[in-house]
Amino acid sequence: MKSKIDFFNSVAGTWDESCSHDMAKVEYILDLIGIKSGDCILDVGTGTGILIPSLYERVTQLGSIKGIDVAKKMIEVAQQKYKYDNVVFKCEDALNTDDKSKYDHIICYSMFPHFQCRKSEAVKILAQKLKIGGKLTICHSQSREDINNLHKRADEIVKEDNLPTMAVMREYFLDAHLKVLEEIDNKDMFVIIGCR
């Protein structure tokens, strides 16, 4: 039986051609987050590094970015594409890591459904990795309905990877002692930002 990691490794080479991201929406979401020069960012499920140039522009050389993904092939593609001094990529599971770093921002862009039945636990674990005043952002540049339909059609291995309702997400954030700062759930995007 093919695992989720096998699936993402198998599509890594063609991911950028097969997945389109509306970068105007991505930039809008990143502006909402309020990233500053010098900030330290964890990009969870970085994939091929779609956010990296936009994040780098915001943190500048004074900040740092760590992009992690469970799929080694995705990380290899990202490493080939982006060679910034203050950006590191690691093949790592955000929910099972010995990384003791604390971050100003943790961003889960276009990946949160893949935590499957561990979504509530994921929010709690990620919240603990934030500095006091740090922000956790879970976001998609598509609607919740579009994301869920996409996964149903994509492959057997991801068909049950659903994005919960905003009400459920809000509960996850509150249970993790995060103050919800922003909620957007419309036909264009899905964004929830919480502060520790």
**pTM for this predicted structure:** 0.94
> Is the pLDDT confidence value at 141 over 90?
yes
Tens digits of residue pLDDT in 14-72: 877 777 789 999 999 999 999 999 999 999 999 999 999 999 999 999 999 999 999 99
Return the HEC string of 144-179.
HHHHHHHHHHHCHHHCCCCCCCHHHHHHHHHHCCCE
Strands (E), 31-164: 40-44, 64-69, 87-91, 103-109, 130-140
Question: Which of 3, 7, 29 has its CA nearest to residue 188?
Answer: 29
pLDDT recorded at residue 158: 67
Tens digits of residue pLDDT in 70-93: 999 999 999 999 999 999 999 999
- Which class for 30: exposed (0-12), middle (13-18), buried (19 or more C-beta within 10 A)? buried
Output 145 or 153, whichever has higher pLDDT: 145
User: How many Cα atoms occupy the beta-carbon half-sphere of 180 within 13 Å?
Assistant: 17
148: number of Cβ within 10 Å? 17
67: number of Cβ within 10 Å? 28
Question: Which of 87, 86, 88, 91 has its CA nearest to residue 74?
Answer: 91
